[in-house]
Amino acid sequence: MKRPAAFLDRDGVLIVDSGYPHRPDQLVLIPGAAEAVKRLNDAGFVTVIVTNQSGVARGLFSEDTMHGFNALLVQRLAEDGARIDAVYACPFHAEAVDARYRHPDHPDRKPNPGMLLKAVAEHDLDPARSLMIGDQASDMEAARRAGVAGYRFEGGNLDHLVAAALSS
């Protein structure tokens, strides 16, 4: 049986968006982030981070740095009993300084649903029972295009939004 997923944006949802965060000192969890992920874990959701990371394309940090930062976030959440099952990151951008990352409209870059669709296929997920939490219109559009319910996080305590979403 296919499992439900909770797709979570990174910057502005799980961590404070300090402007292309990539250094350990920039990893500041949003209030309620670990509790929200743990609540999703306990409710049977596969938890998946889906994040646009144009800082790589813009030459602000390397792809290795991005992966290391994402791994640090997963570890930090795990320290509080919250499990992230997978991380998908899109380093592509139309205005990339590095040609390897230049793409006019990469299928993985939100609002395109590529990262969500890859996760659905690779983890045998059920989009109809899944949800996406993001802080941007592009997150909501990616959710819509993937057939996933979208919830807009506008700040505050993330666990409050997750509790409300799960009770609706």
Does residue 115 fall inside a structural domain?
A: yes
Is 17 assigned a ligand-binding role in the annotation? no
pLDDT at 50 (0 to 100): 98
Which residues pair with residue 48 across a beta bridge?
A: 7, 86
Q: Name the residue range of residue 104's domain.
A: 17-126+143-161
Q: Could you tell me the CATH number of the domain that includes residue 111?
A: 3.40.50.1000
Q: Determine if residue 139 is labeled as part of a ligand binding site.
A: no
Helix (H, G, I), strand (E, B) or coil at 64: helix
pLDDT confidence of residue 1 = 87
Domain contains 8:
no
Sequence-distant (≥ 6) Cβ neighbours of residue 60 within 8 angstroms:
20, 22
Domain presence at residue 4? no
Look-up: residue for tokens 């305590």?
157
65 occurs within a structural domain: yes
DSSP tag of 10 = S
Residue 49 belongs to some domain of the structure: yes
Classify strands 5-8 and 46-52 as parallel, antiparallel or unpaired. Answer: parallel
In angstroms, rounded to a whole number, what is the distance separating the alpha carbons of residues 70 and 75? 9
Residue 125 near residue 5 (C-beta atoms within 8 A): yes
Rounded to whole angstroms, the Cα distance separating 27 from 6 reads: 21
Token pair recorded at residue 105 = 């409209």
In a domain, residue 22? The reply is yes
pLDDT of 77 reads 98
Each residue's pLDDT expressed in tens, for the chain with a length of 168 residues? 899 999 999 999 999 999 999 999 999 999 999 999 999 999 999 999 999 999 999 999 999 999 999 999 999 999 999 999 999 999 999 999 999 999 999 999 999 999 999 999 999 999 999 999 999 999 999 999 999 999 999 999 999 999 999 998
Active site members: 9, 11
Whether residue 91 lies inside any domain: the answer is: yes
In a domain? residue 57: yes
The count of structural domains within the chain is 1
Please tell me whether 64 is known to bind a ligand: no
* 15 DSSP assignment: B
Q: Specify burial of residue 56 (Cβ count, 10 A radius: 0-12, 13-18, 19+).
A: buried
Unique residue bearing structure tokens 């000192």: 25
